[in-house]
Structure 1
Amino acid sequence: MPSAIEDYGLIGDCETAALVGRDGSIDWLCWPAFDSDACFAALLGTPRNGRWLIAPAEEVTNRSRRYWDNTLILETRFETANGTVALIDFMPPRGHASDVVRLVRGVSGRVKLQMELVFRFGFGVDVPWVKRTEDGALLAICGQDMTVLRTPVELRGENLTTVANFEVGEGETIPFVLTYGPSHLRVPKPINPAYALQATEDFWTDWSSHCTYEGEYRDLVMRSLITLKALTYAPTGGIVAAPTTSLPEKLGGQRNWDYRFCWLRDATFTLLALMNSGYTEEASCWHNWLLRAVAGSPADMQIMYGIMGQRRLLEWEAGWLQGYEGAQPVRVGNAAHAQLQLDVYGELIDAFHQSRVAELRLDEGSWALECTVLDHLEEVWNHPDHGIWERRGDGKHYVSSKVMTWVGFDRGIRSAETFGFDAPLDRWRTLRETIHRDVCENGFDPRLNTFVESYGSQLLDASILLLPAVGFLPASDPRVRGTIEAIEKYMMRDGFVLRHDPREISDEKQPIEGAFLACSLWLADAHVLAGDIAKAEALFDRVVAVANDLGLLAEEFDSGVGRQTGNFPQALTHIALINTAHNISAARKPVEQPAMQRSQA
């Protein structure tokens, strides 16, 4: 059985990432990119589906782990009766090839260790051809994929597994370097592990030094920013929602999705998190990825794209994998990419507007694209859609979707007014008012004194917490206050916010999922805007308290069993943490320049 989701640490090279368990096993790695097939898939199956274990061969009496300061270098310490060893895991910034480096360093005494390496390409099903190279390295080839393992330790094969037994004493360091390359090219050249460690430390230390956030919770914000950088596909600037697929939203359930793609839904929150923290270059790269991804007809705009802007993210099931703790199916690809979600149009226009406000350099064709998008939105804003949570089945008139269409026209108007662009302002102003009136008349239930999930429904939805954040109504509006109160009354469990109303009978007959951590932070943001800083801080503290010992957070938290659930680590959760920290810090120090918020012009 794989480790608990929160027991994993993240390493990566800004093109892909691996999950390392407390036990010293790398149970997940897609190579050469985030959306490639996994070569280690034990996370969703068994060790026979691929993993790389390095751990003491004797009883471990204590273990601990940490990231080296402001880096993505993970150190796990194992204490035994005979001594202590440190396992240092990292992926150097991408050179000609991608490497996973594991250094076993003796801290005290002398410890016996074991290594077990199971190569399985194609999401854990394809057994490679393994042989020695002339220089003694171990080469594994299967189809398009090739890996080469270099280490001074003597290796042997047992039952389609590469194993080794070795010892390390105080002051000694034994390296293991696993390198990926396309199988039709030459074997990648070796790297110097010690130089690679220094280069990796220098890269992350320099990157972290550009953080401008100096408020409370700085360590948490810094770790979230590093995580966000690690989830960025450097060649294009696209940011994946998570490096994993099919980690269940409910343990044992069927809501298991592939998150190794880039969602437009997260666009503005991502830009604000980066820009407010001093990372304008990353914000520009993300903006440019957005521009390229959505280029073409607005009618063809999708809710998500691949890391290079790919549009066909066909969904299929890896039936040979048993799923995380038996949660099936294991899905690859995401069929929701073809859904109509109206919120993405507003999200895009808002992202472009915030980029201009922050004085990012935009492509000169950006405004023409926005006008074309708004022309299309004028035709479709009143259509039913599938909502921010990608409900499968018939569409509805979701309140949050309609609000985001309002945001689209509002930000278009603001950009035209502020930056002097040519635009049909009278028509856009009329549409903005029409949508606002439509939402207030059909999306607000005066008997319940709350906005609801969709027109005609009496159920709630956590996404309606964003109404004050996007500027649709001020937090002081009685309807917004009533909505916050209703969310607190009906949609909280053990102090956390659910994204779906628990009074709803799921059409998928699923048990209630865990609390959606970003939604809990959205409620904190609503409290900040309403002036209730104490409530916001209490919610923020509750969320960060469930982060693992490395500061990493998944999509959800199941308070019933005290475990993180969903894909991990989750970009949206860390983005929300960064933004809420900024909002609380700015609210506590109003004399200083406040953080840029979505509703600002």
Structure 2
Amino acid sequence: MSRHIYETGIIGNCAYIAHVHKNTNIKWMCWPRFDSSFVFGGLLDEKKGGEFSIKPSGDFTSDQYYLENTNVLCTEITTDTGKYKVTDFAPRFEQSKRYFRPLMLIRKIEPLEGNPHIKIKCEPVYDYGKTELKAIRGSNHIEYSGSNDAIRLTTNATIAYIVEDQYFILKETKYVILTYGQPMEAAVETTAERFLLETVAYWRTWIKRSSIGDFYQEYVIRSALALKIHQFEDTGAIIAASTTSLPEFPGSGRNWDYRYCWLRDTYYVINALHHIGHFEETERYFDFITDISFEEGLRYQPLYSITRQKDLVEEIADHLEGYRGNGPVRIGNQAYEHIQNDIYGQALISLLPLYTDHRFVFTERKDSADLVKRALERIENTIDEKDAGIWEFRNSEYMHCYSNLFQWAGCCAALKIATTIKDEKLEKKAIELKERAAKHIEDCYDEERKVYTHAVGSPYLDASTLQLIMMNYLDPNSQKAKDHLIALEKELKTEGGLFYRYLHSDDFGKPETTFLICAFWYVEALACVGRIDDAIREFENLMPYANHLMLFSEDVDEKTGGMWGNFPQAYSHVGLMNAAYCISNRLNKPLYLTTEMLK
């Protein structure tokens, strides 16, 4: 059986993300926001998803790569008659002391050899493929009407060939610029070239200013670049993925809309950004989380939209066939209604940098005692109740070990903050709740098997409990931590180094694919307990599960190594970054995880 691979790369500028297939087609792009309707959605329906391609008339081969240390993507197409290159990018650079990140996709098409015979096809759609936009020809542009705002293609190529769907010989470099809202009125060639040079320079400078160790540096750089463009810069939110409804495995029905910001991932994202030394992104994300903390009552939702909208009603787009015929296509995510109690601890941990990172000035942290108090009240309100857990079970509730672990960790953070600001009342409350959370965690311990189960009264094991080691609830040097890790790897690890979240049945039956971030957690846990050679070996075993551009999916099929789930998954890349950092620190110096601050 051949391995299933997502044959696309992503470009973006922190305002939108586009997926470019190896055949040059824009297979997925939502405008004007990450969670808007797609303009191109061939990923979910070849007929109704529209198309934006630059294909040759005959058979061809393709080579796709990023310009080094950038989010600028090149696709070289070779045919019998010639060879050409398409360079795709979303402009991003500093201009007038702010970031220029327009809703603009630029495609540079240049001949490399011979006389390539090509056709530029641009057929955007809207309302998730229900609306075909009408093309209105201009002198050097095409206006597409029918969406919420004007979409315009501006080009130095022959307009008639595009409108009339004709091939032509590519003799000189052509530029195709697609915009949403504000049209591109400047000179096409000079503007596109300037934007390209500025964008390349921006990304390379961003990487030069990153703190990235030597261990698998090229993969960490690609992961950092991918994570960066998953941040919606306007609000600071970071989405789980830019896609919806790519199935966890064929016919599973496990098709979810991931174009939202999950609070459960706060700690991991902040850690990853901290490790590469990017304060600006951390600060924006922190602002997004604290705005939620101030506005909400005793309960948070597990996830919010990129603008903190709360009603993410899940609907089925039954007019779309789904990825390779795998429906349903979901828009929205019903998980916003779930009870997920680890998120209060996640929010508290996110406050900790205010007191440990002196890049935050005192005026930015002096009023946050109220935030800490509110967060502790939320933990107290939920610490003894069952929830849907990190994996968001839809029809079952447990007293989850993982939920109580992050409540425990949040209380550790609150205790450190309270000590720093000399608030004895807050200290006492944090200690009391920390002990209550620990009691629930210990109720999950199976003495006979020497392992913590996923929930109180449950025999099942869960990869999320690896975090007991990384969060320093279990001393990584203790035999208890080592035994716990051995029990988990014995049951949940595959021969190829992949890791299942769990193996028991859930709302949709038994999972058939592994969850990639769990494999990176496993690597991190190995490094934490001192099994550094094992950690390096297992990390290296995971690298071949990337696609041709070093991008990783959410899920991996154990038997075939196939990529499944939404793609690329931001948190798979976060897992890679954190695991690589952990190994790098172990190789170069004693490991001091940021979670040491919680002890």
TM-score interval (norm. to shorter): over 0.9
Encode CA deviations 1:285-342: one digit per residue, 9 max, x unaligned: 1111111123223423111111122111111111111111122110011110121111
Change (3 A) 1:434 1:520: same
Question: TM-score with structure 2 length normalisation?
Answer: 0.93
* 2:135 counterpart residue number: 130
User: Which whole-Å CA distance do the structure 1 matches of 2:587 and 2:396 have between them?
Assistant: 44
* 1:102 counterpart residue number: 107
The alignment yields a C-alpha RMSD, in angstroms, of 2.0
Encode CA deviations 1:442-464: one digit per residue, 9 max, x unaligned: 10111222101111111111100
Post-superposition offset of 1:155: 3.9
Which amino acid is the alignment partner of residue 200 of structure 1?
Answer: T
* 1:173 counterpart residue number: 173
Secondary structure in 2 matching 1:163: coil
Maintained 8 Å contact 1:119/1:128: yes
* 1:20 counterpart residue number: 20
Secondary structure in 2 matching 1:87: strand
Match status 1:472 vs 2:473: yes
* 2:418 counterpart residue number: 416
Secondary structure in 2 matching 1:76: strand
Which amino acid is the alignment partner of residue 262 of structure 1?
Answer: C
Question: TM-score with structure 1 length normalisation?
Answer: 0.93
Post-superposition offset of 1:76: 0.9
Encode CA deviations 1:207-252: one digit per residue, 9 max, x unaligned: 1121122321111111111111111111111111111111111122
* 1:484 counterpart residue number: 485
* 1:530 counterpart residue number: 529
* 1:87 counterpart residue number: 86
Post-superposition offset of 1:107: 1.4
Encode CA deviations 1:495-530: one digit per residue, 9 max, x unaligned: 34444332x233323x53321111001011111111
* 1:120 counterpart residue number: 125
Which amino acid is the alignment partner of residue 185 of structure 2?
Answer: K
* 1:501 counterpart residue number: 502
User: Which whole-Å CA distance do the structure 1 matches of 2:545 and 2:234 have between them?
Assistant: 33
* 1:370 counterpart residue number: 372
Post-superposition offset of 1:45: 0.9
Change (3 A) 1:47 1:193: farther
Which amino acid is the alignment partner of residue 259 of structure 1?
Answer: Y
* 2:95 counterpart residue number: none
Which amino acid is the alignment partner of residue 463 of structure 2?
Answer: A
* 1:451 counterpart residue number: 452
Post-superposition offset of 1:426: 2.4
User: Which whole-Å CA distance do the structure 2 matches of 1:96 and 1:224 have between them?
Assistant: 20
User: Which whole-Å CA distance do the structure 1 matches of 2:267 and 2:468 have between them?
Assistant: 14
Structure 1 unaligned segments of length 5 or more: list them.
none
Match status 1:144 vs 2:141: no
Which amino acid is the alignment partner of residue 152 of structure 2?
Answer: V
Which amino acid is the alignment partner of residue 303 of structure 2?
Answer: M
Change (3 A) 1:85 1:143: closer
Instruction: Name the stretch that deviates more: 74-83 or 95-104.
Output: 95-104
Which amino acid is the alignment partner of residue 447 of structure 1?
Answer: E
User: Which whole-Å CA distance do the structure 1 matches of 2:378 and 2:305 have between them?
Assistant: 23
Secondary structure in 1 matching 2:116: strand
Maintained 8 Å contact 1:445/1:451: yes
Paired positions, count = 584
Change (3 A) 1:75 1:421: farther
User: Which whole-Å CA distance do the structure 1 matches of 2:429 and 2:371 have between them?
Assistant: 18
586, 594, 597: which is aligned to 1:597?
Answer: 594
Which amino acid is the alignment partner of residue 436 of structure 1?
Answer: A
User: Which whole-Å CA distance do the structure 1 matches of 2:483 and 2:405 have between them?
Assistant: 17
* 1:39 counterpart residue number: 39
Post-superposition offset of 1:564: 0.9
Change (3 A) 1:118 1:445: same
Which amino acid is the alignment partner of residue 115 of structure 1?
Answer: I
User: Which whole-Å CA distance do the structure 2 matches of 1:317 and 1:368 have between them?
Assistant: 41
Post-superposition offset of 1:164: 3.6
Which amino acid is the alignment partner of residue 189 of structure 1?
Answer: E
Which amino acid is the alignment partner of residue 564 of structure 1?
Answer: M
Maintained 8 Å contact 1:6/1:552: no
Encode CA deviations 1:351-394: one digit per residue, 9 max, x unaligned: 11144322342454322112111023112201000000111013
* 2:96 counterpart residue number: none
Maintained 8 Å contact 2:55/2:118: yes
Post-superposition offset of 1:166: 2.0
User: Which whole-Å CA distance do the structure 2 matches of 1:19 and 1:11 have between them?
Assistant: 7
* 1:570 counterpart residue number: 569
Post-superposition offset of 1:5: 4.9
Which amino acid is the alignment partner of residue 154 of structure 2?
Answer: R
* 2:409 counterpart residue number: 407
Match status 1:189 vs 2:185: yes
Which amino acid is the alignment partner of residue 39 of structure 2?
Answer: C
Post-superposition offset of 1:431: 2.4
User: Which whole-Å CA distance do the structure 1 matches of 2:276 and 2:200 have between them?
Assistant: 21
User: Which whole-Å CA distance do the structure 2 matches of 1:497 and 1:450 have between them?
Assistant: 20
* 1:521 counterpart residue number: 520
Secondary structure in 2 matching 1:311: coil
Superposed counterparts of 1:153-168, under 5 Å:
153-156=157-160, 163-168=165-170
Change (3 A) 1:590 1:187: closer
User: Which whole-Å CA distance do the structure 2 matches of 1:458 and 1:536 have between them?
Assistant: 27
Encode CA deviations 1:87-107: one digit per residue, 9 max, x unaligned: 111111274841111111111
User: Which whole-Å CA distance do the structure 1 matches of 2:164 and 2:149 have between them?
Assistant: 18
Secondary structure in 1 matching 2:298: helix
User: Which whole-Å CA distance do the structure 1 matches of 2:337 and 2:153 have between them?
Assistant: 40
Post-superposition offset of 1:187: 4.4
Which amino acid is the alignment partner of residue 505 of structure 1?
Answer: S
Secondary structure in 2 matching 1:18: strand
Secondary structure in 2 matching 1:54: strand
Which amino acid is the alignment partner of residue 381 of structure 1?
Answer: I
Post-superposition offset of 1:567: 0.8
User: Which whole-Å CA distance do the structure 1 matches of 2:5 and 2:314 have between them?
Assistant: 23
* 1:29 counterpart residue number: 29
Match status 1:202 vs 2:201: yes
Change (3 A) 1:429 1:38: same
Instruction: Name the stretch that deviates more: 355-364 or 288-297.
Output: 355-364
Maintained 8 Å contact 1:6/1:553: no
Maintained 8 Å contact 1:151/1:175: yes
Secondary structure in 1 matching 2:545: coil
* 2:440 counterpart residue number: 438
Maintained 8 Å contact 2:156/2:174: yes
User: Which whole-Å CA distance do the structure 1 matches of 2:167 and 2:148 have between them?
Assistant: 31
Change (3 A) 1:443 1:43: same
Which amino acid is the alignment partner of residue 550 of structure 1?
Answer: L
Change (3 A) 1:543 1:5: same
* 1:76 counterpart residue number: 75
Secondary structure in 1 matching 2:105: strand
Which amino acid is the alignment partner of residue 515 of structure 2?
Answer: F
User: Which whole-Å CA distance do the structure 2 matches of 1:595 and 1:547 have between them?
Assistant: 29
